[in-house]
Structure 1
Amino acid sequence: MRWIFFTLVFGNLLLLAMFWQKQSDVNAAPLSALEIPGTVKRLQLVSEAGDSLQPAAPRELTDHRGSLCYVAGPYADDLDARHLLARVSALSLHGRINIVDIASGEPSEYWVHVPPRATREEALRTLKELQKRKFDSYIITQGDLAEGVSLGLFRNKESAYGLQKEVEGSGIPVEVLVVNKSVREYWVEVIEVSQLNERMRERIQAGDKEISWELVECSRAG
C-alpha cells in the first residue's frame, strides 16, 4: 500500500512541474501586434510625421482678371443697348451694359472760384468778404477744391472771365476752371468669347451697321 501512495504523490508532483513550465513559457512569450481583419491603419506620432503634417496648401482660386471679352457698341441710347443685351440673353449668353463717359474737348461750363484756403476759418473770412461786396458765393466742402469758395458756373466764357476780373479787383485771387463736355456711350459686354464666332455676332447685331465688335479686357471677373 505504501508504494501506491508514493506513486500518486510522485505523479502529482510531475503534473505540477509540467503545468508550471507551460505557464512560464506563456509569460515569457513576446507580445505580437494585434491586427484587425480588414483595413489596418497605423497610428503615427507627431514627431514621426514630419512634413506629412504640414498644413495643406490653400486651393488656388481661378482669377479671371485680365480675361478678354467682346463688347458691342457704341450706343448713344441706353434703350438700344438693352435691346442688344436681350438678344444676347436669348442665346443663353451672359452680358452686361458698360457706361463710358468720354470727354469731347469742348468746353461746356466755366467754374469761377477762389482757390482752396489753408483752413476753414480762412475760407469763411474770404466768403464774408465776398458777400460783403455783394458777390454770390459759397464754400466748397468736397473734392480737390475743398476749402475754396465758389462764385458760380457760367456757360458764357465772357461772363466767367468778366467776373474773375471784377473780383480780383477787390484783391481776392480768383481762378476759372473749364469744364469740358462729355459724351456718354453704352457698350454691351459679352463674356463667352469662344462662342461668339462671326455668324453669332451678326445674329446678335441684327443688321445694325452703326455699331462694331471689339475684343477688350473684361470689366469684371467671369
Structure 2
Amino acid sequence: MMGWRIAAVLLVLANVVLLVLGQMQPPPAPRPPPPAPDPEIPQLELIALDWREAQSTVPRCYTIGPFATLVQQSRAEDRLRPFASLIRPRRSEADRDRGWWVFVAAPSRPAAIDLAQELAARGVEDYFVVADDDLPDAVSLGLFENRENARARLNRIRRMGFDAQLAVRREDAPQFWIDYRIDPGERSPWRFILRSSPGATHFEIPCF
C-alpha cells in the first residue's frame, strides 16, 4: 500500500517538473512574412463562371461595350471569338464634352479678322478666326480641359477690354460595341474584358 502512495507522489512530482520546464522554454519565433510577389511575374486571375449563361438550354445573346477605340473593340472580339457562335461588331455615336472654349464673337468675317489683328497687337497668342455653325465669325482663344485654366484665359482677355466668353464645346464621338451569341453549354470571358475596359458594360439582348 505504501508503494502505491509513493508511486502516485512521484508521478505528481514528475508532472509538476514537466510543467515548470515547459513554461521555462522560450516562445517560438514568429513566422517570417510571405515574400512579396514579383511584379515581373503575371498573377493568375480567376474568371468567375456565369452560371446562368453556362446552364442555359437555348442560345443567349449579349452586348458588351462601349469601347473607346477600334483597337479595344478588336481585342475584345479576339477574346470572344473562340466562345461565341456569332459576333456582330457595331458602332454608335455619343455626345461628349470636348472642353471649355474661350472666344470673342464678331458681327462679320471682316470684323473677326480686324479683331484678331488687334489681339495680336496687344500681345495675345494662340488665337485663330473660326467659321462655326453656331458662331459664323469668332476669334478662338483656346480650348481647355481644365475649367480653371479656361477662366484664367477669359479674365486675362477681359482685362484687355475685349468681350471674351466661355462655353462648353461638345462633339459627336464614336463608340464601339460587340453583340455576340453563346450556344448552350458555352460561356464567355466577358468579366475579363470588363476588367480591362473601364466604362464598358455587359448585358443580355434579344438574339439576332
Give the number of the structure whose alpha-carbon radius of gyration is greater. Answer: 1
Structure 2 length-normalised TM: 0.49
More RCO (CA 8 Å, sep 6+): 2
Structure 1 length-normalised TM: 0.47
Compare the two structures and name the one with the higher helix fraction. Answer: 1
